[in-house]
Structure 1
């Protein structure tokens, strides 16, 4: 099983078609990308925090899965605080660093926006099986089957890449060439993994062509992908959260359209 394939839970979110999860995530991200203000992001994040309890993830799993987002959000916010556009009252100044009223507000908005966009995206896709996603993209979105199956095959190889990396590390250490500098070791091992990946990808492409995956005919699918009530409900929830965030932001006068 691929490391990207989650265990199937009993919660309803596990049974929702991945296309609906993708649509809901893109809908939220699209709306929040239209404005740079902390109100809309805070409202969306508050609504999402309630919905996370129904995602079927334990607190530990939620934390480890979303850890990159928790690291990226404050990092981006700190960078914006120190080097963002200076406006309003100046609080602190040192060389190129300007901490002002405007940069502080922009830093808070940036941090909240990354959390509001990143957390639901990670939580939704943790519950996605790559095969289900490929079925949905091909049968519902009508993407070319050749593209979808190629992407699925690539996702399925991620677990093998991790195992190859560990095997290469052990093999190089056994030969006495893996104890040098960290940068040199990573560069050499990365190049070896790249060569191995290209060879494996070529063999996989040849095997798939031999089995007719690239044939220009109408494909049949082992598992039909459906888009029914629960899928529309998830997209509807995403739409309601997005509209609520916009409404509160506009009502409070905080809406700051990025293209204006």
Structure 2
């Protein structure tokens, strides 16, 4: 019992992590499930590599995944650039209406997706895009709701940045650009990377806003929703597992690089 009392916080943290990752473990397990002769798709029947060897077997699934990845990358790029610039402006500069901007930025995060999706649809129809819903309307919608998350994430990182580090660099005759590139940007980069990963994940798995503004374009969540009417193919679990592993690889790589950089500075 003394061990439990000494490590209670650690044990609770591990239990929370296990609880959070149980769905991911189940998805990875079901990606090896042979459900070709099963009525209940989410009851494990037998082990097979067939789902991984033929991930595009359901017609249109890989095209939908590619469309979601394309939209997600573009939306992440635009939202990250604009959101980072907005975060720097909010933290580093004083201007009229700066306080109101915090409320405006928070509203897209607090609004239900059905409200935002229907509002964007009404906007596109009013501006003449009602008959041209598709890739570009989805992209615009995704940039709009990802932007708030990026601004808030990067702003939190900037708010905790020690200004003395930048002042010390300038005292050592560094220019403003050198100070930004050699000091400010490396310190803010983890926040920017985290914001970009968050934006991509939000864009990739969004369904409600996308469904209202997609037209004839089919993204991966829309494909899964349509396939669910007949039975979700196990290849969907393959895609989910791959995306999860990629996310882990990116996070681990970023952590390793940051630790190596920190050791190099200490040395």
Same fold (TM over 0.5): no
Q: Structure 2 length normalisation: TM-score?
A: 0.31
Higher helix share: 2
Q: Structure 1 length normalisation: TM-score?
A: 0.32
By relative contact order (CA 8 Å, sep 6+), the higher-ranking structure is: 1
